[in-house]
Structure 1
Amino acid sequence: MTNQEVANRLVVLLREGKFNDVYDELFHPDAHHIEPQSHYFADVKGVEAIKAKDAAMGEHLAGVEFMDIGNAVVASKHIAIPYKLTANLKDGKQMMLDEIIVYEVADGKILSEQFFY
């Protein structure tokens, strides 16, 4: 896959909420999640560990009220996607995300994802 094809598929899967499919289809097994702002998931290595991170976060969600995945921007070996989410938490609070996710791609696989918010 070209980087543009990876970006196109990534946007489709994210918009459909198929996050595990993103990891299974597009991520390299040794992919790296970078989120220095997070106290819990600042540096996660390996696609299975990234899936476990998402599952742990999902345990706190009661539902998603709003999700907007913007169009991908592809430049050389990187893809950037704006991501907005409003979710209701099980404790009754609401969580709002407004971030840019930057993916590094090589040989048709995502090597890393980094969250900026």
Structure 2
Amino acid sequence: MSTETVAKRLIALCRHGRFEEAQHELYAKDAVSIEPEASAQGPLGNVKGLDAILEKGKRFQEAVTEMHGVEVSDPLVAGNWFSIVMTLDATMKEYGRVSMSEVCVYHVKDEKIVHEQFFFDQG
């Protein structure tokens, strides 16, 4: 599977809110997930390994009261890297309804995502 194929599959699953399925299918067992510096050490911070990424996703879902919508851009592919813009419209337990937009960058190796990193403004 090429980087572009991995990217398109991730986007298709994310556009339908099937994030955990995407992780099971497309992520390497030793993948890493990196957050912006200000939240790197928090409960949704940096983690290594698919099990930790799945747990991080579970914690995020537990913080969501209602998901109103997900928008995912088409990918920008460069070699074994791709990026997308993802915007979530959700009601969060602690914050109420919020719109979160982030740039997501992925590295693909041996047909699996081995690295994801998120960039967004905080606060």
**TM-score (structure 2 length as normaliser):** 0.89
Q: For residues 37 and 77 of structure 1, do their structure 2 counterparts lie closer, same or farther at Cα, with a shift above 3 Å needed?
A: farther
Distance 1:52 1:86 in 2: 21
Aligned length: 117
Unaligned runs of 5+ in 2: none
Runs of 4+ in 1 over 3 A off after TM superposition: none
Structure 2 match to 1:4: 4
Unaligned runs of 5+ in 1: none
The within-5 A match list for 1:1-117 is 1-35=1-35, 36-38=37-39, 39-40=41-42, 41-91=44-94, 93-117=96-120
TM-superposed deviation, 1:43: 1.6
Distance 1:116 1:89 in 2: 20
**TM-score (structure 1 length as normaliser):** 0.93
TM-superposed deviation, 1:3: 0.7
Identity %: 34
Q: CA RMSD in A?
A: 1.3
One-letter code aligned to 1:28: A
